[in-house]
Amino acid sequence: MEMRRIDPVNCSVARALSVVGERWSLLIVREALDGARRFGEFHSRLGIARNLLATRLETLVTAGVMRRVPYQEPGDRQRFAYELTEQGRALRPTLVALLEWGDTYLADPQGPSVIVRHRPVDEGSSCDEPVKVVLECAAGHSHLAPEDVCRTPGPGARLVESS
């Protein structure tokens, strides 16, 4: 029985993974979200090989996830730092989701190594409560279980024949 389904290749998940699905890319973004800015910071925090770090940063910059900004420490020459664009910061929910999944199923026996907290940049430590990622629909139903959602074709869907 033939049916038409969403083309799995023309999908934003696949496109997203083609940008941030390479080894190290999401870890670089995570460190950037945590304040890393300079080549050497990424290198020493992650232990990634230098040449790979250079190509990953370049990939992330051309993809619009990061931006290369010149900086100059007093009494030193000009160097470059890497900071997240708004597009890069928008990966936070993805990283929180991965963190939560890892904490739930692969955690250290000691407990989670990282807790994400509600701590706005401008106010002090107003709330500080742990943050979770939740699925919520446009009608306001929140905390949906994974089984309560399904994929449907959108306006840009290509449909393909499939068994």
Cα 106-109-112 angle, rounded to 5 deg: 65
Q: Does 133 bind DNA (CB under 7 A)?
A: no
Residue in the block written with tokens 């770090």? 53
The span from the CA of 76 to the CA of 38, in Å, is: 15
x/- letters, 2..21, toward a second copy (CB under 8 A): ---xxxxxxxxxxxxx-x-x
The span from the CA of 23 to the CA of 72, in Å, is: 30
To DNA, the closest distance from the beta carbon of 37 in angstroms equals 8
How far from 94 is each of 32, 55, 87, 90, CA to CA, in Å? Answer: 14, 22, 12, 8
C-beta closer to DNA: residue 126 or 162: 162
To a second copy, the closest distance from the beta carbon of 78 in angstroms equals 20
Helix axes 25-33, 92-106, angle to 10 degrees: 110
Give the one entry of a second copy, DNA, none that residue 79 binds, where binding means its C-beta sits below a cut-off of 5 to 8 angstroms depending on kind: DNA
**Three-class SS of residue 72?**
strand
x/- letters, 31..70, toward DNA (CB under 7 A): -------xxxx-----xxxxxx-x----------------
To a second copy, the closest distance from the beta carbon of 158 in angstroms equals 7
Which of the residues 65 through 104 are near a second copy (CB under 8 A)?
A: 87, 89-104
Which spans of this chain sit near DNA (rule: CB under 7 A)?
A: 22-24, 38-41, 47-52, 54, 75-77, 79-81
